[in-house]
Structure 1
Amino acid sequence: MTKHVSLIRIFSFLLCVLCSFLAGAEDSGEAAEEFFQEGYVLYQQYSGTRSLEKFRAAAELGHTEAAYYAGNIIRQDYTYITKESENYYRQAAEGGDVYAMLRLAQGSSVCGTLRECDYDRDAWLERAMKTALPMAKAGDTEAMMALSSAYAIKGDPSADFEWVKRAAENGHAFAQYWMAVMLGQQKRGFYWTNAGRSADVLNWLRESAEQGFPKAMLKLALELRKIGQHQEAQYWVEKMGKTDYYDAILESGTAIMLGPDAATLYGQNSDYGFAEPRPVKGAALLLALHRQTGKKAPLEMIEAYQDHLTPEMMAEAEALSKELLVDKPILHYLPKFGI
């Protein structure tokens, strides 16, 4: 009987220890994710130093993607992979982050002037492809995009293009935007006519924009303006002003404020075809953008139009601005595997 009671007590003790461990692990995971999210917002606001502190804290708690971004910021600061950035990339790679593997697979230009990368870059490239390929074939669009980057590093532009296209066809918003860039700016793919190429650029941008990707909204509005499709362009100008993308909000606020006066100030190609200026609404959006970011450009847009803005208009815009972009971090939508 005594032996039975002892076993129960031991079991209860072990159960308590296990529960405490699991609770601690859960708390640690939640803290890591919180640090990561805070760091990611700062990173998307070009605040590398402050975001690095958050990413380091998350990485120390085992957050894989935070380790990748920590490595990335350090590499960007030095313009090459240092030992510290390599260690963070290795941590992320061991956690399954394909882009970390690809950083370790990149050419000698990222190793610094002494070329001291003492690891097998080809092996990392092979590992990245072996990791991403099964997931991509199973329909994982993020893996498809990672695989496209792997083929780009490998020097296979056809496969690179094909995997971006597959991701786009499967609904990946950034891939759809990137297809437009590849077709339009990079002139990838074969077309019999420029009209056919341009039509596909617009179609991919529309698909991405309709999913809410603000970089696509902005690019689509600009492309439509260029070819005189003002009605649809105006729709996206209005839409992108409600996003959290800095460049889109700046363009939207300026276009709404100026209306047809954009042609007078900046040339005919700057006109979205609005029937009249809406100085209060546009200036309010620009004031809110300045409030949230501290950047000068929104105020410079207002200053360029100040001859048309009465004190009453500015007072009204100031009041309205307090209702706009409230508690909304303004981002720049930097790609994960960018520069």
Structure 2
Amino acid sequence: MVGSIDLCRKCVFLVLFLTASVTLAESSQGRADQLFNEGYTLYQQHSANRALAKLKEAARLGHAEAAYYAGNIIRQDYTYMTKESENYYRQAAEGGDVYAMLRLAQGSSVCGTLRECDYDRDAWLERAIKTALPMAKAGDTEAMMALSSAYAIKGDPSAGFEWVKRAAENGHAFAQYWMAVMLDEQGRGFYWTQAGRRADILKWLEASAEQGFPKAMHKLASEYAQDGRMEEAVMWADRMGKTDYFSALFEYGLILTAGPDGSEGKVQYPEVKLVEGLSLLFALHRETGNSLVQFSIERILTELDSETIAEAKEKSEELLVDTPILHYLPKFGI
């Protein structure tokens, strides 16, 4: 009887211990996710120094992607791989982050011209491909995009292009945008006519923009304007002006203040909206402190009366409140 009681006590203790351990693990994971999200947002706001502490703490709690971005920030700060950035990349790679494996697979672009990375870069490249390929074949579009970068490093740009195309065809918004960029700015892919290439550029941009990807909206508005399709350009300008993308908001403010007198080949808004455009620029500068925005504001102010300026300043107080202004930096492109 005594033995049974002791056994029950041990069972209760074990249950309580396991429950507490699971709760603690869930709490740590939740805290790591929160820190990563905060750090990632700061990173996308070009506030890498402020982001780094949060990402390091998330990495300490076991967050693999946070470790990747911590490694990225440190590497970018030094312009080459340091032991600290390498350690963060290794943590992320061991946690399954394919892009961290690809960083470790890169050569002079991250090691520095006078430095040698003392690890087997080819092994990391093969590991990245081996990790991503089954997932990509199963339909994982993020894995497809990772493979495109892997094959670019491997020296097989054609395979890289095909994986971007497959991701785009499977609905990956950034892949669709990137297809348009590769076709337009890099001359990738074969076309019998420029008209055929142009049609595909717009097709991929439209697909990405319809999914709400701000960079695609921004580029699509510009492409339509260049083609003289101003009604469609204005429609996409209006939509990009409702996003949180810095470049889109900046240009939208300028478009509104310029109206139909905007530069040739640019979006020409059907009417001048000085207060709306200037208030957006005021709000954007308040949130970012960007010097180019400030310069544009000062240039516009020289032609305005004090009443219009005051109205725009008042309206700006309602805009972009509690809205992080992001730059949509790619995970692997920089």
TM-score, structure 2 as length reference: 0.97
Q: Deviations over 1:17-69 (max 9, x none)?
A: 11111111111111111111111111111112111111110000000000001
Residues 132-143 of structure 1 aligned to structure 2 (within 5 Å): 132-143=132-143
Q: Deviations over 1:158-193 (max 9, x none)?
A: 100000000000010000000001000000000111
Report the residue type matching 1:289 in the other structure: L
- Give the equivalent residue in structure 1 for 2:67: 67
Q: Which runs of 5+ in 2 are unaligned?
A: none
SS in 2 for 1:16: helix
- Give the equivalent residue in structure 1 for 2:153: 153
SS in 1 for 2:323: coil
Query: In structure 1, how many angstroms separate the alpha carbons of the residues matched to 2:265 and 2:203?
Result: 22
Report the residue type matching 1:188 in the other structure: R
Does residue 276 of the first structure (1) align with residue 298 of the second (2)? no
Report the residue type matching 1:135 in the other structure: M
Query: How well do the aligned residues superpose, as a CA RMSD in angstroms?
Result: 1.2
Does residue 337 of the first structure (1) align with residue 332 of the second (2)? yes
SS in 1 for 2:265: helix
- Give the equivalent residue in structure 2 for 1:212: 212
Cα offset, 1:308, TM superposition: 4.1
- Give the equivalent residue in structure 2 for 1:127: 127
Residues 1-339 of structure 1 aligned to structure 2 (within 5 Å): 1-263=1-263, 268-270=264-266, 272-339=267-334
Aligned residues of 2:183 and 2:197 also touching (Cα < 8 A): yes
Cα offset, 1:298, TM superposition: 2.5
Query: In structure 2, how many angstroms separate the alpha carbons of the residues matched to 1:39 and 1:305?
Result: 35
Query: In structure 1, how many angstroms separate the alpha carbons of the residues matched to 2:146 and 2:282?
Result: 38
SS in 1 for 2:139: coil
Query: In structure 1, how many angstroms separate the alpha carbons of the residues matched to 2:246 and 2:231?
Result: 23
Query: In structure 1, how many angstroms separate the alpha carbons of the residues matched to 2:226 and 2:114?
Result: 47
Query: In structure 1, how many angstroms separate the alpha carbons of the residues matched to 2:306 and 2:237?
Result: 26
Q: Deviations over 1:307-339 (max 9, x none)?
A: 542222222212221221111100100000012
Cα offset, 1:269, TM superposition: 2.9
Cα offset, 1:140, TM superposition: 0.3
Report the residue type matching 1:12 in the other structure: V
Query: In structure 2, how many angstroms separate the alpha carbons of the residues matched to 1:113 and 1:179?
Result: 31
Aligned residues of 2:45 and 2:325 also touching (Cα < 8 A): yes
Query: In structure 1, how many angstroms separate the alpha carbons of the residues matched to 2:173 and 2:103?
Result: 23
Q: Which runs of 5+ in 1 are unaligned?
A: none
SS in 2 for 1:305: helix
Cα offset, 1:299, TM superposition: 3.1
The aligned length equals 334
Cα offset, 1:305, TM superposition: 2.4
Cα offset, 1:257, TM superposition: 1.7
